Structure 1
Amino acid sequence: MIGFNRLKGEGSPSTLFAAFLYFDFSFMVWTMLGPLATEISDSLADYGFLMTASETATLLSVPILSGALLRILLGFLVGRIGAKKTALGAQAIVILTLFYVASFGEHISYEELLLVGVGLGFAGASFAVALPQAGQWYPPRLQGVVLGIAGIGNMGVVLGFLFAPKIAEVWGWQSVFLVAAVLSLLVFIVYVLMAKDAPKEVYVPRPKNVSDYVRLLKDRDTWWFNLFYAVSFGAFVGFAMYMKVYLMAMYFDDMELFGVEVLGEENIHVVAGYFAALCIMAGALLRPVGGAIADKIGGIRSLYIFLTSVAVLIFMNAFIELPFWFAILVMFLIMANLGMANGALFQLVPQRFSKDIGIMTGIIGAAGALGGVAILEILGASTLMFGDYTIGFMFIAANTLIAIAGVSLVKSRWRTTWGIKSGGII
């Protein structure tokens, strides 16, 4: 893959791998309600609780929202006690949450599931730990590809959509949490053995205080990065979480594919999960490619290319009634460009905030997750109020255009100020 050969002899490969593995499984756990949403809805219906589209969106939003807020906390702890201790504490909470659902999930209520979503948020907060832990080991010229590799943990979302519906079909949706708990425990052990905090000769930690948050939040560049990541990562995680619900509603509701009834009532959940995984995989795998491209041509130019592609494709999806295969292709390309945009953006962040990378990863990551919450609520509200997703897609595309305009506003100042001495191409 692009840029991998540039890492030979640099940094800590074992830590980079551990950060990737931790992030990968954490992302799988963080978003696992997405591939199970329709199964959970059917299960609750058996006990007399019928989830509306809005309630489904809210359930999917809770882990994203809690993950957003917890990213700030974990980013703060990374500077205080180190990335490794922070990661181990967060992983322990997630594992306990998973075992709770596996043990008591058969008669769990909607309200309890909302609380479970809060626990899963600790998995989503891994973003604020894994990325700085990997990045601390490497120089500015390699940040795009390094953080792209660590960030390919987005692939965990794909794993969830590939396997969760099938496991749920065979053993029940609660069993998915048991499998995830066991796997997370194994990842915990691997992480203990392989992950290392960067030594002082490579990276000098600078513990942060509340005043540092205030200082950074007063910096206008913080808010520009927040906007860009709320659009790019927000759309990625929002679409990922809602993808199966969207496909079920638009193409699988009558249990027919291409006009032929070939799917059973249970298999339909699995097939929808496979197609969702295909689209999400594009964004997950191509994130490091976006970072490597940004290392070559600059993050600003890369953002122009990726975000413009996203806006065009989303408008196409909003206004044209696409046949199934073409709709899948469009969603695949949307997710691919969103993933590369995420990688390109985090080629810029370490160059602008090299001394505050831990805390800034938390702040910007939180903004991205909040963007995901907004996407979920918009899509839920769009189908509830207007009967389809057109208005929701239009709103998301408009936000992308705003982000593109923002890049145009800051590019000259960035290139002539901190970009000159950043050590990389912006």
Structure 2
Amino acid sequence: MAGFSALRGQGHWPTLLAAFLYFDFSFMVWTMLGPLSSEIAESLAIGGFVISESQKATLLSIPVLAGAILRIVLGFGVDKFGAKKTALASQLLVIIVLFYAYFRGASISYDELLVVAVGLGFAGASFAVALPQAGQWYPPKLQGTVLGIAGAGNIGVVIDFLFAPKIAELWGWESVFLVGAVLSSIIFVAYIFMAKDAPLEVYTPRPKKLRDYGKLLQDRDTWWFNLFYAVSFGGFVGFAGYMKVYLMNTYQADMSAFGIDILNEPNVKVVAGYFGALCIFAGAILRPVGGAIADKFGGVKSLYIFFGVVLALVLLSASVTLPFYLAIGVLFLIMANLGMANGAVFQLVPQRFGKDIGIMTGLIGAGGGLGGTLLINTLGWSKEAFGGYSAGFLIFGGLVLLAITGISLVKTRWRTTWGVSAGGRI
């Protein structure tokens, strides 16, 4: 396994750290609406707008959808203008949106929140900048570990669930946007001094044109990777974004009792944030582990295992309403395996598309965002149409099964073609 010790003396660690921090806090901002969903819904209701389950799902999914589309835009920016300039421009827009939401406060309308949600998509698109900037500094044999570390910035959503509900309880939900704006400003300054684009002797940029995107979209492997990432990252960000809504709708009484008896925390929304953070933490922290496992055993074999576990647990969740503690354990394992699958997918991508990693990170990241958008809206539709989430879990399970079938269809061709020339384990 290409362990973390192998990174010593390689690449540029300040850039790797900057990429992690940039993606970490960007991911925190991107998913900010999820842990605030209940508080925002209550605020809108006070103003006379009662939000439905489908409207709530739409609000939560728009940052994910916008992030998916903008990843392609920022991926193009990385190849055209460099990762650092692209990151700083995007971060500045995010800071402006966060301050706007704070100053509008409780008087903000649902339509304005939809616009804010689009702006937060720029934070989600940071994936298309952080990963290639970190990866450009390191050799192919370390890509799984390096991109896993940079991608582990998605632990930012854990910070959301741990602190956002409590901050909202103490000072109002709009204050969370102020905290996000201040932290994003600090990261903006740190990024200026820490991050560097790889020098020409390490990485030679090849600016791409729109027709280059079209050429890559004609490659069937692009679509396979989009499918795999729509399941792994789409599943992770989709469950993360909808986690609090799901827990509040399904296990509110259990969490209330747990909070009062054990945590001395009577606010069930805060308790829901704690349990959501626990489950999401598994997927966030284990992403680099998944990349390292794929470096040793191969990305294809690793994806078989990770997706297989997810499929079994999703079908279990669809079949029965699990007891509270068992449901938390199942969600924890689902998120853990989705996180490791994220690392495994991006152990394979640089081997197949090393010369086009900027564009491909954007394209594949877009697929992941679209998968998350689909999952959030499917869960919201399932709850509104049937009063539960079984249908939503079944549909996602079908997508996981499709991905496993896809791996079976491509593994032989991959191993006998670009897998040989790449010199890595696939």
Q: TM-score, normalised by structure 1?
A: 0.98
1:155-187 CA deviation, whole Å, 9 max, x = no partner? 001000100000000000000000110011001
**Mapped partners of 1:203, 1:49: distance in 2:** 52
**Mapped partners of 2:265, 2:298: distance in 1:** 49
Amino acid in structure 1 at the alignment position of 2:287: R
CA apart distance, 1:376: 0.5
1:126-166 CA deviation, whole Å, 9 max, x = no partner? 00000000000001000000000000001001000100000
CA apart distance, 1:257: 2.6
2:388 corresponds to: 388
1:26-85 CA deviation, whole Å, 9 max, x = no partner? 000000000000000000000111110000000001111111110000000100100000
1:251 corresponds to: 251
Amino acid in structure 1 at the alignment position of 2:332: F
Is 2:84 aligned against 1:84? yes
The aligned runs of 1:281-320 (5 Å cut-off) are: 281-320=281-320
Q: CA 1:263–1:245 in structure 2 vs 1: closer, same or farther (change >3 Å)?
A: farther
- Mapped contact 1:251–1:257 kept (Cα < 8 A): no
Is 2:359 aligned against 1:359? yes
- Mapped contact 1:256–1:262 kept (Cα < 8 A): no
- Mapped contact 2:259–2:271 kept (Cα < 8 A): no
**Mapped partners of 1:308, 1:265: distance in 2:** 37
2:275 corresponds to: 275
For structure 2, the 5+ residue unaligned runs are: none
Percentage identity across aligned positions? 67
Q: CA 1:167–1:422 in structure 2 vs 1: closer, same or farther (change >3 Å)?
A: same
2:145 corresponds to: 145
1:106 corresponds to: 106
Amino acid in structure 2 at the alignment position of 1:143: Q
Q: CA 1:300–1:171 in structure 2 vs 1: closer, same or farther (change >3 Å)?
A: same
Q: TM-score, normalised by structure 2?
A: 0.98
**Mapped partners of 2:266, 2:371: distance in 1:** 32
Q: CA 1:263–1:196 in structure 2 vs 1: closer, same or farther (change >3 Å)?
A: closer
1:125 corresponds to: 125
SS at match of 1:421: helix
2:47 corresponds to: 47
**Mapped partners of 2:97, 2:205: distance in 1:** 31
1:377 corresponds to: 377
For structure 1, the 5+ residue unaligned runs are: none
CA apart distance, 1:6: 1.1
2:30 corresponds to: 30
- Mapped contact 2:72–2:363 kept (Cα < 8 A): yes
- Mapped contact 1:167–1:175 kept (Cα < 8 A): yes
- Mapped contact 1:87–1:129 kept (Cα < 8 A): yes
2:348 corresponds to: 348
CA apart distance, 1:258: 6.1
1:402 corresponds to: 402
**Mapped partners of 2:262, 2:5: distance in 1:** 46
SS at match of 1:290: helix
CA apart distance, 1:317: 1.0
CA apart distance, 1:256: 3.7
Root mean square deviation, CA, Å = 1.6
Q: CA 1:425–1:262 in structure 2 vs 1: closer, same or farther (change >3 Å)?
A: closer
**Mapped partners of 1:162, 1:277: distance in 2:** 6
1:186 corresponds to: 186
**Mapped partners of 2:77, 2:238: distance in 1:** 27
Is 2:415 aligned against 1:411? no
SS at match of 1:33: coil
**Mapped partners of 2:76, 2:241: distance in 1:** 27
1:203 corresponds to: 203
**Mapped partners of 2:65, 2:113: distance in 1:** 14
2:63 corresponds to: 63
**Mapped partners of 2:225, 2:183: distance in 1:** 34
Structure 1 runs of 4+ aligned residues shifted over 4 Å read: 258-266
